[in-house]
Structure 1
Amino acid sequence: MPTQIPIVATMNQKGGVGKSTVTSTEAEWFSIVRKMRVCLVDLDEQCNTTKHFVGVDYINDDNEAGFLIKKHPDFSEDLGANERSSIADIFYGEAVLPYPSWIHDGFAKGGLVDVLCGHPVRIEEINNALISKEDGRINPNAKERLKEFFEMEDVQNAYDIFLLDTGPSKNVMFRSALHAATHVVVPFEPEDKAIQGITQMLNAIKRENFSRDRETQLNLVGLLPNKVRNLKLHKEYLAELSERHEDFLFPWPSWLSLLTAFPTRDGISAKPKSIFQLPKTDTARAQATAMCLYLEKKIFGHHLGMTKEIKEVMSVFEDGFEALGMKESCRA
């Protein structure tokens, strides 16, 4: 059964570009602002997304990661799943349990975020065991596993959108996510080797599309500048990228600056917890709003409604709606 629910993967083969921050922001937008049922999938062994939305148990034993996934609050042996369930389990033919996050129906007043947690050990095991040491080829069954999971009818019926947070390496999880996705967002930091990493991602998307028919092509949402600073170096890189990949670049003002609001909200005791709970005049909230408005239009073909609050937030920018290709009627 071909998938009908959007599966949006945030990907870049370079680490440290803010993939987890971008994916978390997307999840907050679609659940808190758009009141959607979001399934957030953590495919990175660092588990930053899991830590932010669910939390982990920190330990002091032989576990090199220093933490374990939390025990599932509704675990029962009858469910046929692990007590500390993770997305890695499906690659072993086991069931996986979605964890409730701090964004639940009561908090988001209709929306929610469930998390298929990462696992610091099992994901690494899969990446090592299911790829050929000789030619780097992925086990074909492993490549299909995520796609098969998302196409299950009960999984499709439970959510309105799937968001995938991936690691930087071109490993089993990366390739399985690329194969399962309907859309890809590529965040990058406009510094040295950024263009090389972008070229690698564009080539990976092109190769994936060779194996798909016309109706199921993988869609590139765009290249998203992240951690942007008012530096000559950043301006030069962005100018060069605009020349090379103008059709793919997220438009200003959806670029995300290097602002403290983005990383500090990841803290356990951060208040407000969501970027979309910051004051309406906050620059970080405005940039995140612009980014998500552009994202949803690329995914769904249209914006999902323009509220008074969104208009007030976007008023931080002069001509912000026009830069996003939105009509004058969207203005406050």
Structure 2
Amino acid sequence: MGELEVYNGLKVLSSYHRKGGVGKTFLASTIAYLLATGGPDGKGKKRRVLVLDYDSQQDSSKAFLKMDAIPGDDEYAAPLHPDVEEINDPDWSGRNTSTDILFDSPVYEYPTAFENISVLPSEGNVDRVLALTSESDRLVSTITTHMREWFSIEDIANDYDIVIVDNPPSKSPVSAGMLGAATHVIIPTEPEYDSIDGVPMLLNRIDRINEGRAGNPLQVIGVIPNKVPSKSRLTQKDEVALAKLYDKDGPTGIYMSRFWLQQRNCYRVMERPSVDESHFNYVHNHHAIDEMQKLYELVTTSLWGSES
């Protein structure tokens, strides 16, 4: 099927790297904000965004929702849904996580302080996913099939323009299964060995996924260098790492973005959860705003082309 037919035109963007701490959640939550509000200047088209958090650290969930602490545990529970009294569904517990999609449970997305952003939070411990099938070698394909079926529900495309998936780090069945169902992927990386070493491996995995997706490949929006020191603080090691990433004859060169994220401290979420839109506002730093404009333009052009 053609690109516009996939998921009734719904875009599914996965933010992923096999290593944790490189900016995967930062990209997922920030891109959600930029698309929902029309970019740094608010003049772009405002997209309807659903964030699916599958990362056990639950940072995307905590960015937008007041999660419930579990006494004696280091995980958080999904909050009681604010519309629980209005939803008449005897099969529903009143709480939802992104994992519920995989078990065909009733799913009701959570509204946030942002008009165009909804969230399905992470369950934290994703061990429940192992119960999907007793055959471990089929787990990835089972997850991909479940997610493709859910993304294909007509009401999802009616309610949202894009789903942004915050994948768990590492080569897990969940991350592989989610990649298999996504339409696009964006890859953050730091300019240090472990991060850049993982990028070609991820690109190889995408190539394997695309062997079974003729006519509808998983598209790489770009590899985004993140946490790059300012020019005055760039070490020789940083420069060597960046040169390796941007080598036009190397495996990553054609995917590299034309900008780096250096000023991320200027647009970090001020409070968690963000119960007010001002919590995502940027410090008036023109370097930070310029970086965000470039990120916004990269994503919108890659996803919607001239329509954006």
TM-score (norm 1): 0.80
Distance 2:271 2:297 in 1: 22
Matches within 5 A, 1:288-307: 288-302=292-306, 304=308
Distance 2:238 2:81 in 1: 43
Q: What is the aligned counterpart of 1:49 among 60, 67, 88?
A: 60
Distance 2:109 2:133 in 1: 27
Q: Letter of the aligned partner of 2:11 in structure 1?
A: P
Distance change in 2, residues 1:79/1:44 (3 Å): farther
Aligned to 1:317: none
Distance change in 2, residues 1:115/1:158 (3 Å): same
Q: Which SS does the other structure have where 1:175 is aligned?
A: helix
Q: What is the aligned counterpart of 1:81 among 92, 96, 114?
A: 92
Aligned to 1:260: 265
1:71 equivalent in alignment to 2:71: no
- 1:223 positional shift: 0.5
Aligned to 1:313: none
- 1:83 positional shift: 1.6
Distance 2:156 2:174 in 1: 19
Q: Letter of the aligned partner of 1:57 in structure 2?
A: D
Distance 2:61 2:139 in 1: 25
Distance change in 2, residues 1:303/1:223 (3 Å): farther
Q: Letter of the aligned partner of 1:48 in structure 2?
A: D
Matches within 5 A, 1:4-19: 4-19=9-24
Do the aligned partners of 2:132 and 2:142 also contact (CA within 8 Å) in 1?
A: no
Q: What is the aligned counterpart of 2:120 among 116, 121, 135?
A: 116
Q: What is the aligned counterpart of 2:128 among 120, 125, 150?
A: 125
Q: Which SS does the other structure have where 1:302 is aligned?
A: helix
TM-score (norm 2): 0.86
Distance 1:303 1:224 in 2: 23
Q: Letter of the aligned partner of 1:208 in structure 2?
A: I
- 1:137 positional shift: 4.5
**CA-to-aligned-CA distance 1:128-152 (integer Å, 9 cap, x gap):** 444778x755253333111110111
Distance 2:262 2:46 in 1: 26
Matches within 5 A, 1:148-297: 148-214=149-215, 216-230=216-230, 231-232=234-235, 233-243=237-247, 244=250, 245-252=252-259, 255-257=260-262, 259-268=264-273, 272-275=278-281, 277-279=282-284, 281-297=285-301
Aligned to 1:92: 103
- 1:39 positional shift: 1.0
Distance 2:280 2:269 in 1: 10
**CA-to-aligned-CA distance 1:139-169 (integer Å, 9 cap, x gap):** 5333311111011111111111111111102
Do the aligned partners of 2:25 and 2:166 also contact (CA within 8 Å) in 1?
A: yes
Do the aligned partners of 1:86 and 1:97 also contact (CA within 8 Å) in 2?
A: no
Distance 1:18 1:53 in 2: 17
Distance 2:14 2:132 in 1: 21
Q: Letter of the aligned partner of 2:188 in structure 1?
A: P
Q: Which structure ranks higher in relative contact order (CA pairs < 8 Å, sequence separation ≥ 6)?
A: 2
Distance 2:134 2:88 in 1: 34
Q: Which runs of 5+ in 1 are unaligned?
A: 105-111, 305-332
Give the % identical residues.
28
**CA-to-aligned-CA distance 1:185-211 (integer Å, 9 cap, x gap):** 010111022232101110110010001
Q: Which SS does the other structure have where 1:247 is aligned?
A: helix
